[in-house]
Structure 1
Amino acid sequence: MKKTLLTNLSASLLVLLCLAGCNSKTDTPATTDKGETPSAAAEDTLSENVTEKPATDANLAKITLPDGFQISYYAQKVENARSMVLGPDGTLYVGSRDKGNVYALPDKNKDGKVDEVIVLAKGLKMPNGVALRNGALYVAEISRITRYDNIAANLKNPPKPVVVYDKFPTEEHHGWKYIAFGPDDKLYVPVGAPCNICLSKDPVFASITRMNPDGSGLEVFAHGVRNTVGFDWHPTTKELWFTDNGRDLMGDNLPPDELNRAPKKGLHFGYPFCHAGEILDPEFGKGKKCADYVAPVQKLNPHGGTLGMEFYTGTMFPDTYKNQIFLAEHGSWNRTEKIGYRVSLVRTNAQGQSSFVPFASGWLQNGKEWGRPVDVELMPDGSMLISDDMNDAIYRIIYTGKK
C-alpha cells in the first residue's frame, strides 16, 4: 500500500504552513513562496512485474504494462476525449469537457479500431458525462441532463435532444459531471464543490445525486464528496464505489485522493471537514471528528487527479484481475513534482484489505506529460479502453500472454 501519511509532527507543520500562506478560496498552483512544502520524489506503490511492450507509435512505445499486455490506438483525433459508454452494437460514445463535443465511434467490422469519428453534438457546456438506457444517450452538461433517443440508428442525423433535468447549479468549478445508471435503474449524477475548500449552504453541492430516468425524484445519495468524476457498482454486492479528488493547497503530499464505497444512501464522506478519513481540515475541521465520517477504502496518490474507474468483469485478462478496480489517474496540476498520468489497479480481498499498484504508465516522461488518462471502459471481448483528453485518443489494452 502506498505510504502517503506523514508523521504527526510533519502533518502539524504542514497545517501551520498552509494556514500561514494558503488561500483556501482559490486553486492557485502551490509555490514555495506561499508556504507550500515541496516533496522529494513521490513515493510510488510496488508495481506488478512489468516490461515495456513494443508499439508502432513512438509514444505508445513509452507505455509500460504488466507482462502479456499490449496497447494500441482504438481511435485518434477524438478531441478532448473524456468519459465513455459503450452501446450494445459496439458504438462507443464519448463526452468532452473543454471542446463541448459529444462523439460516436462505431467499429462495425470489429477489427479493434473505430471506423470514423462522428460528432453527434457540439457547442455544449462541458458535456463530460454520457450514459445509455433503452437506446437513448444521456448527456450531462454543467446544469442539465439531455437525452438523445434511438441514437444508434441516427448517428449521422441525431434527433433533437430532450431535456431531462435542467436545475443543477451553473457553477463551472467542479461542475462537469460523470453520469451512469445504477442497478436500481436510477441515473447517478455528482455535483462537485464549487471551490477548492468551502461549506456551501446548498446541500446539493459536494454530493452524488440520483434521479429517475425521466428526471423526477432527484435526491442526494451521498454527502461530503468533493469531486468525483468516476464511479461503478461492485459486480457482486451492487454497492456504489467512487473516486474523489482531495483538496488543494495543503502541500504536495496532503491529502490523498480517495477510493470510496457507499453501500447505502445518506452516508457522509467527510468533505470539507475531514480528508482521507483521518486529516482534519485546517479551516473547516475545527470541532469535528474524522470518526464521524466514512473513511476511504483506499488512499490514492495525493493530487493524482483520479477520475474514471471500473470493475474488471471480462474474461480476457488473467483471473487475478476479476472484479478488481482499474483507475484512470489524470495527473497533478499543482504539485511540485508531477504524479499520476497513468492507469492504476486497486485489488481488494475478502477481508476488505486493498492494495494500490500501477498498471499502465508512461504518459509522464521526465516530468513532462504527453497524455492524460481520463476514463476506462470494458469491451465485450474483455479488452479495456482508456480515453485521453490531452492526446485526443482512445487506447485499447489487450492480453495475449499465458493465463
Structure 2
Amino acid sequence: MLSRFATTTLLLFIYLNTAAQVQLEQQRVALKKGVTMDLKIPKGYHIAIAAEGLRRLRFLTKSPDGRLFGTDMHSLADNKRGKIYLFEKWDNGSKQFKKTTLFAEKLHNPNQVMFYTDKGVNYIYIAETGKLSRYEYHAGDSALRGTPKILARFPEQGLDYKYGGWHLTRSLAQHNGKIYVSVGSSCNACIEKEAIRASIIEMNPDGSGQKTYASGVRNSVAIKWVGDKLWGTFMSRDLMKPDNPEDLFGTIEQGKNYGWPWYAQYKQQIYPDRQMMDSAKIQNIKVPAKPPLAYCGFKAHSAPLGFDMFGNFNDPQLNGNFLVALHGSTSTWRQRGNAVVMITGKDKYVEIATNFQMGKKKSDRLGRPCDVMMNDANSFFITDDKNGALYYVWR
C-alpha cells in the first residue's frame, strides 16, 4: 500500500503531466491555391484562413493604432522584391481580413518591422538584410511616409558572400528606450571576419550609440523582451550529428557570449565543437568560456522562428506559456519541426498546431509555420511562409 506521501507525490506527478498534454483535434484548411491541410489544433478551437495569396509571409506586428502588419520576403532567394502588407477590414463572421493593402515594396529580404515612439513621434522600423531604417508613421497610413532615416548598416553580400553568405534575416526588439537587432553569422561554422556577425546589437532609437549586446549567437531569427528578459530562438549549426546540436530557445543577457562557433548544446549539456577548437588552436585564438544553457532544446533542424508569450490568455492550458513556430528542416526527410509548439519546461514542449508535413517527401510538406502572435485573450495568428497565408485560431 502506498504511503500518504507517496500517493500525494504520484497524484501530483499525474496532474503535472496531464496539464502538460494538450488534446488536439483535426480541422481542414483549404487554400484557394489548391493546397488542403488537415491541421491538428487544440480541442475546442477553430482555424480560418484570415488572408492568403501572398508569397512568403513572415513576421507580424501591430501598429500603435491597432492595425496588423506582416512582412513578405518574396522567396527563399536573396532578393529585393520583399514587401510589407497591412491587413484591414476584419470580418468577425468569416474570420477574414477583407482587404490586404500593399504598404511597401522593393525591400531587401524584409523579415520584420516594428513600431516605436521616439520623443513623441511614432516610427515604423524596417529590418532588411543590409540596413535598418525608420519612417514616420501616422495613424491610418496606408503607405510609407516621407524619406527614411537609415539607422544602421549590416553585411548584405547575401548568398553569394565569399565566407558562405548565410542568414539574410534581421530581427528587431525594443526595451527601456533601446532598439535591438539580431545579425546572423555568414556561415555554418567559421571564424568571422566581421565583428557584427552572430550578435545582438543594441542602439538608441535614432541609431546612435551602437554596441554589441551579446555575441556568439549564430542565428536568432526572433528576439523579444518579455518583462526584463530578452528571449530568442537559436538556430544551431549543421553538419554534425543527426540530433546534435539542438536548436534552442532561451534568454539573452548583456555581455554574454552564447558559444557559437565553439560550443553546442544537447540535452542540457554544453559540448565543445572539436573542429572549431582545433582551428582556434592552430590560429592561436582565445576561445570564450562555456556559454549559458538555453532553457529549451528542440530536435536538431527544427528551425525555431517566431514566438510569443501568451500572457493573460483565457485558456489555462496556454496561459503563461511561450508558443514557438518551428519552421522545419530544409531536408524534408528529417521530418523535424513543421509545427507550432508550447514550451512546458526545460527541454519540454507539446504540439499546438501540427500536420503541416505529412511524410518524408518534399511534396509531403504542405505548409511551414513561421510566426505565431497572440491576438487577444481568446485567439492567435500563425503565418505560413510556404503558402503565403495567415491563419486565425480562436475558441
The TM-score with structure 2 as length reference comes to 0.81
Q: CA RMSD in A?
A: 2.3
1:222-261 aligned within 5 A: 222-235=214-227, 238-261=228-251
> 1:102 Cα deviation (Å)?
1.1
- Percent same amino acid among aligned pairs? 26
Partner of 1:285, secondary structure, is helix
After superposition, give the CA deviation of every residue in 1:258-303 in whole Å (9 maximum; x if it has no partner).
11212x3111111000012523213113479896211111111201
Bigger Rg, structure 1 or 2: 2
**Bigger CA drift: 283-292 or 131-140?**
283-292
Q: Which residue of 1 aligns with 2:110?
A: 127
Q: Which residue of 1 aligns with 2:260?
A: 271
Q: Which residue of 1 aligns with 2:100?
A: 117
Q: How many residues align?
A: 344
Q: Which residue of 1 aligns with 2:146?
A: 160
Question: What is the aligned counterpart of 1:95 among 71, 78, 93?
Answer: 71
Contact 1:84 1:94 survives alignment (8 Å): yes
Partner of 2:292, secondary structure, is coil
Contact 2:37 2:366 survives alignment (8 Å): no
1:350-361 aligned within 5 A: 353=346, 355-361=348-354
1:333-348 aligned within 5 A: 333-334=330-331, 336-348=333-345
- Alignment of 1:181 with 2:174, yes or no, is yes
> 1:130 Cα deviation (Å)?
0.8
> 1:105 Cα deviation (Å)?
1.0
1:35-184 aligned within 5 A: 48-53=22-27, 62-97=38-73, 98=75, 99-107=81-89, 112-134=95-117, 135-155=122-142, 157-172=143-158, 173-182=166-175, 184=176
Partner of 1:117, secondary structure, is strand
Question: What is the aligned counterpart of 1:195 among 172, 187, 198?
Answer: 187
Partner Cα separation in structure 1 for residue 320 and residue 287 of structure 2: 33
Over 3 Å counting, the alpha-carbon distance change for 1:151 and 1:342 in structure 2 is farther
> 1:110 Cα deviation (Å)?
5.4
Partner of 1:106, secondary structure, is strand
Over 3 Å counting, the alpha-carbon distance change for 1:314 and 1:107 in structure 2 is farther
Contact 1:232 1:311 survives alignment (8 Å): no
1:292-307 aligned within 5 A: 292-307=290-305
Question: What is the aligned counterpart of 1:365 among 358, 369, 376?
Answer: 358
- Alignment of 1:383 with 2:373, yes or no, is no
After superposition, give the CA deviation of every residue in 1:201-231 in whole Å (9 maximum; x if it has no partner).
3221111112111111111111111001112
Q: Which amino acid in 2 is paired with 1:132?
A: F
Q: Which residue of 2 aligns with 1:329?
A: 326
After superposition, give the CA deviation of every residue in 1:151-174 in whole Å (9 maximum; x if it has no partner).
54220x431341232422223221
After superposition, give the CA deviation of every residue in 1:368-389 in whole Å (9 maximum; x if it has no partner).
1111111111213441111111
Partner Cα separation in structure 2 for residue 108 and residue 387 of structure 1: 17
Contact 2:22 2:317 survives alignment (8 Å): no
Partner of 2:58, secondary structure, is coil
Q: Which amino acid in 1 is paired with 2:257?
A: H
Q: Which residue of 2 aligns with 1:18?
A: none
> 1:56 Cα deviation (Å)?
6.2
Q: Which amino acid in 1 is paired with 2:329?
A: S
Q: Which amino acid in 1 is paired with 2:344?
A: R
Contact 1:274 1:290 survives alignment (8 Å): no
Over 3 Å counting, the alpha-carbon distance change for 1:253 and 1:47 in structure 2 is farther
Q: Which residue of 1 aligns with 2:17?
A: none
Partner of 1:284, secondary structure, is helix
Partner of 2:390, secondary structure, is strand
Q: Which amino acid in 1 is paired with 2:238?
A: D
Over 3 Å counting, the alpha-carbon distance change for 1:55 and 1:394 in structure 2 is closer
- The gaps in structure 1 that reach 5 residues or longer are 1-45
Contact 1:62 1:362 survives alignment (8 Å): yes
Q: Which amino acid in 2 is paired with 1:120?
A: F
Q: Which residue of 1 aligns with 2:212?
A: 220
Q: Which amino acid in 2 is paired with 1:305?
A: A
> 1:308 Cα deviation (Å)?
0.6
**Bigger CA drift: 85-94 or 386-395?**
85-94
After superposition, give the CA deviation of every residue in 1:240-275 in whole Å (9 maximum; x if it has no partner).
11110011111322211011212x311111100001
> 1:194 Cα deviation (Å)?
0.4
